[in-house]
Every structure is written in C-alpha cells, then in structure tokens.
Structure 1
Amino acid sequence: MLTELVKRSPPLPTGSKLLVLGGGFSGQHVVALARALGSTAICSRRDINSPDADIAFDSATKLLPATKVLEGVTHLLSCIPPAADGKDPVLTCLGDQLRALPLQWVGYLSTTGVYGDRQGRWVTEIDHPQPQQARSKRRLACEEAWQASGLPLQILRLPGIYGPGRSVLKNVNTGQSRMIHKPNQVFSRIHVDDIAGAILHLIQCAADGQRPIVINVTDDLPTAYTDVLGFAAQLLGKSLPEIEPFAVAAAQMNPMALSFWQENRRVSNQLLCRELGYSLMHPNYQSGLRDCYLAEGFKVSQTNFP
C-alpha cells in the first residue's frame, strides 16, 4: 500500500520535476508515490478530463503538451506503448523538445516479452532479446529508438502487472476463473507498488552513478497460473473449477490469450535486487495478493488469510 511504500522510498532529488507520460495503472502509481514523498510530479492522459490528468498528450490526434508545461522537467517516465507502425509516439512527437530539457533520468517501461520463449529457462538482462510476438517486436524497436535518442535512459522490462483492482481475486470471487494447466509453464509478475518503488530507487541509484541501461523489474517467484488461482481461492474461501488441460482450453482462446501461453520463461531480478539493492514489497504472489485482498475491501478472518 502507498503508506508503506512511502516509508521505504527515497524522494526525488531536491528541485526535481517528474513528468509521467501515460497515466495508466502504473503511471498513476508512480505519480502518487512521488507526490507523497513531497516531489513535483505531473501526469499526462489522452483526455484532459480523464481522472488524474494534469496535461493532455495524444500522439494519434497530435494533441501535444504546451512547451511551458515541460519547462524544468528533470525526470521523465514514458509508459506509452508503441504505435501500430512500431514507432515510439513520445519520441516521434516530443523527441526534440525532450532533448532540450535538463533531464537527469529517463525511464521507458517495456516488457519482458522481448526475451521471447525460453522454454522455462531463466533470463537476465545480458540475454539477447528474441521477441516472437508482433507486439514484443514493436517494443524492442522502441527500446532501440530510445537508446539511440541520446537521453539519460533506463529501460525497465516488466512482466505481468497486477495490484489492487487488477488481480485474479475478482474472477475467483465471482466464479469466473478457469484452472488452465500447461505442464511446466510459469509466468513472472510484478505488483504495481514495486514498479513505483523500483523507479524511485533507480532514480536514486542513477543520481549516485549507478545506471544500467536495462533492468528487469519482476518479483522473486515465477509461478504456474493455477498456483496463483489456488492461493486466491484460499484467501477468499472459494472453491475452484476442475483443472482444464491447456490442449483443450487452447481451442477456445482468442489469439491474444493464446499468445501468452506460447512463451515460457523465468525472469531474473538479481540486477535490481542484489546488485542495486532494491527490496521488494511483494517478493511473491502470496504477499501481493494479500495486499490486493485488503485493499479491495474483503473481510479478513483467521481462517482464510494465510
């Protein structure tokens, strides 16, 4: 939760101004944390009337923030996905303006999907990307464009993101979950609090002279999907449906859902946690789901809160 995250997070350097482009689930958490630590932070949405929108930025309609808004920005986080043509909307629309700012740190949220399928093996930042999905190939193209930008960049590669309001608890609680099992398949994940916490930690590390270009931001425990559902059901005191073999369930999946099951990898966080010293709030799905359970207002009892 934000109060606990504030206690363990460093503020931005004195006099900093953070701009988050793309105020979705992750971006809003970063802004909230920065502000709670007393820093200036502004957030863009496509529509200025959207919740938590400070400025409007929509590359599709060429709705750009005024130059005055960008003045004094020292830290930038881009959470905006690639355009359909594979180009980065931020660099396309704002690249020249960004290069004119006194930027000390730039973060780009990418995906661990750029590693492709590793048949369950561990991957680290030194492994060469091998994207197989079209969306992951677009992400890698944007990573490369950001690296060529000349900006003080760090690329944060994220696996599946979850947090309060965006977890498996809702579907388990309403009986809509499917216990799909594929032998030896695991997924990596990260709680949204740890995305925000890691970003503030990495900004501090960069100020101290530690700035690896690529960082995996993931928890300690890649896990089978059925294990996560099982723990959620235990928290909620709910029963789960029978296990469905993947070979059977795949026949009913849409292409997007099917694509997630076609890749299997364990993503290492050793650079972030051991070498750079970030301490995860939620090192595994059990801790993260307990947090979601409390934040989403479920009633706690000793019998269903392991």
Structure 2
Amino acid sequence: MRLFVFGLGYSANRFIAQHGGQFTGIASTIRTAGKSAARDIETLVFNPDVTDPGIGDRLASADTLLVSVPPGADGDPVLLTFGSVIAASGIQRIVYLSSVGVYGDHQGAWIDETAPVSGEGRRRARIDAEERWRALAGDRTTILRIAGIYGPGRNALENLKAGKAHRIVKPGQVFNRIHVDDIAAAIAAAFEYPQTGIWNLCDDEPAPPQDVVTFAAALMGIAPPPEQDFATAEMSLMARSFYASNNRISNARLKRELGVKLAFPTYREGLTALWQRREI
C-alpha cells in the first residue's frame, strides 16, 4: 500500500514516524526543498509558486492519501491544483485533517459531530474545504476535526522555558486540545476503518488555558506567570480570535467507532510524559 501526503507538517511527520512502516512507499509534498522528514520518504515541492511535475504520477500510483494542507484565501490549494487527478485516481481512502474551529461558538456547551458549523474567514475556508472534499470523493474521504495540538517541542513547558507563556483568564473559557501521538493513532485508525465519516479528535477534558500553564509550571518547579485579564491583556489579533469560540467537544464517537484509546486523555498525562522524557 502506497501513501501520498500533502503537507509534511508536525502531525503528518509524527504519523509517518510511528505508522509509516505499514506502507510499501511514501511520498509527500513539502513547501521548501531540503525540509527534513520523519524517515526516508520521497519529497516533492508544492507551494503557491512551485509545483513539482512528479506529483501527478505519485498520486496516480497511491492507494491512500493524507491531506494536512490548510485552505488559503483562494480555497483549498490541493483541490484547486489536483482535484481532477484525485477524483480520477485509484486512491481508496483519503484522510483530510481539518479543525474543530469549524463549529464556531457554542458558549461552552458540550457538542459532538452533529453540531452545526459556522464562521467567517479562516473558519469559513475550512468549512468550504470539508464540503468540497466530501463532494469530490465522499465515499473515500474521512475528515478528522482536530483540536489544539501539542507535543514534543510544542507545549506549555516549552513556552515557559522560552519565557513566552501567559495565563490569560477569560471567565468560563475552555479550549480543547490533543497530543500529537494521539493524532497519529487516530489517522492510522481512520485509514483502517472500513467506513468514512467525520470524527472529532480531542482529549477528554476541555480546560481553561491558564490551568494548563499552571500545571506545567508545577512540573518544572517554577512559579507560573501572573494571571492577565483577557479584556486588557496585550494579544495579537490572531491570538485574541481563538477566544471567540468556547466549546466542550466530545470525542465519544472517535473512541466508540474508530476504537482509539487515547494515550494522553488529558493535558496532565501529556505534559507529565513530556516533562519526564524531556521532550520539551
């Protein structure tokens, strides 16, 4: 079984590192020539200015496709460039990595995959991309809606070490998150599952962001940064936009149908493992 990957990013690299052995061959796009990969795989450049001519041939010979390229201002770049090739290909299963951001704001309520999606800007682009992938190859396409990703080199421990951690407090605000190793396991399960669908990919405990920083600081034996009120905190527009939605997202369907058992069911297990292994 041959795998093609659009976008050799953090999650895709982790998936290949942990589950790449099940494939007889792997090829992936990268934005810049020379980017390192998790293992020996063929890499081809794909960005707004360069499209490697070999991508079409690799798609034609692939059995499975993993897509982790986000949509841009003009839409989904993979569909715009290779939609017709993928539609006509012999690819048996497509896993598209999306975002729980498509749900918009449900004011802290528990929601699952049946919740309505809404939003403008980046959220609208994600919703449109999901719809177009389903329209292109709905009988082959699984969508994983992923929460805030953390793991080695990308976590509250690293932020504290670098002096970039903040405890922003907005009353009632929670965020959903997921360890990158659990993402890798879910992608593997989605490829093996006989049916397609949409699954939320998050841990068991949506939590206030300041609690995560406090717990990480305790692991490190240091004082956490002072709390800052969201209303007056200095934040970029991008960072502030994440606080516009407040959801408690259920992963029950992921466990029930895909059979995924989370290695890190909450941020506490995840951060503790990262600290003990010094993977910060």
**TM-score, structure 1 as length reference:** 0.85
Contact 1:173–1:238, Cα closer than 8 Å, also in 2:
no
Query: Are the aligned partners of 2:3 and 2:27 in contact in 1 as well (CA < 8 Å)?
Result: yes
> Are 1:293 and 2:275 an aligned pair?
yes
- In structure 2, the partner of 1:255 is 237
Which amino acid is 2:63 matched to? T
Give how far 1:39 is off: 4.6
Structure 2 partner of 1:105: 93
Query: What's the CA shift string for 1:15-45, capped at 9, x where partnerless?
Result: x111111001011112212324465322220
Q: In the alignment, does 2:177 pair up with 1:195?
A: no
Identity of aligned residues (%): 38
RMSD: 1.8
Code of the residue aligned with 2:230 in structure 1: it is: F
> What are the superposed Cα offsets for residues 166-189 of structure 1, whole Å, 9 maximum, x if unpaired?
001122234432221111110000
Q: Is the 1:48–1:54 contact (alpha carbons within 8 Å) kept by the matching residues of 2?
A: no
- Corresponding residue number in structure 1 for 2:248: 266
Equivalent residue in structure 2 for 1:163, among 132, 151, 172: 151
Q: Does structure 1 residue 26 correspond to structure 2 residue 11? A: yes
For 1:69, the equivalent position in structure 2 comes to 58
- CA distance 1:153–1:287, change in 2 (3 Å): same
Report if aligned partners of 2:178, 2:202 keep a CA contact under 8 Å in 1: yes
Q: Is contact 2:27-2:44 (8 Å) kept?
A: no
Q: Deviations over 1:66-114 (max 9, x none)?
A: 13333421110110011212x1111111112212322111011111111
With over 3 angstroms needed to count, the CA separation of the structure-2 counterparts of 1:134 and 1:150, relative to structure 1, is: same
1:173 counterpart residue number: 161
Q: CA deviation at 1:204?
A: 1.3
Letter in 2 for 1:117: D
Amino acid of the structure 2 residue aligned with 1:138: A
**Does the 8 A contact of 1:179 with 1:243 survive in 2?**
yes
> Which residue of structure 1 lines up, in the alignment, with residue 36 of structure 2?
51
Measure the CA separation in 1 of the matches of 2:156 and 2:63. Answer: 37
* Paired residues of 2:153 and 2:279 also in contact (CA < 8 A): no
Structure 1 stretch displaced more, 48-57 or 282-291: 48-57
* Counterpart-to-counterpart distance in 2, 1:274 and 1:246: 37
Letter in 2 for 1:156: L
Which secondary structure does the structure 2 equivalent of 1:177 belong to? coil
Structure 1 residues 76-155: aligned runs within 5 Å: 76-85=65-74, 87-131=75-119, 133-150=120-137, 152-155=140-143
Shift of residue 193, structure 1, vs aligned partner: 0.6
Deviation at 1:254, TM superposition (A): 1.5
Q: Which residue is 1:8 aligned to?
A: none
Q: Which moved more, 1:19-28 or 1:173-182?
A: 173-182
Aligned partner of residue 248 in structure 1, secondary structure = coil
Runs of 4+ deviating beyond 3 Å:
36-39, 294-298
CA contact under 8 A between 2:29 and 2:44: conserved in structure 1? yes
Q: Distance in 2 between matches of 1:294 and 1:225?
A: 21
Do the aligned partners of 1:34 and 1:41 also contact (CA within 8 Å) in 2?
no
Matched pairs, number? 275
Q: Which moved more, 1:31-40 or 1:194-203?
A: 31-40
Could you list the per-position Cα deviations for residues 270-304 of structure 1 after superposition, in whole angstroms to 9, with x for gaps in the alignment? 11012332111111101111222234357xxxxxx
Q: Which runs of 5+ in 2 are unaligned?
A: none
Between 1:30-39 and 1:88-97, the stretch displaced more is 30-39
Note if contact 1:179-1:244 (Cα within 8 Å) is conserved in structure 2: yes
* CA–CA separation in structure 1 for the residues paired with 2:98 and 2:80: 17
Partner of 1:302: none
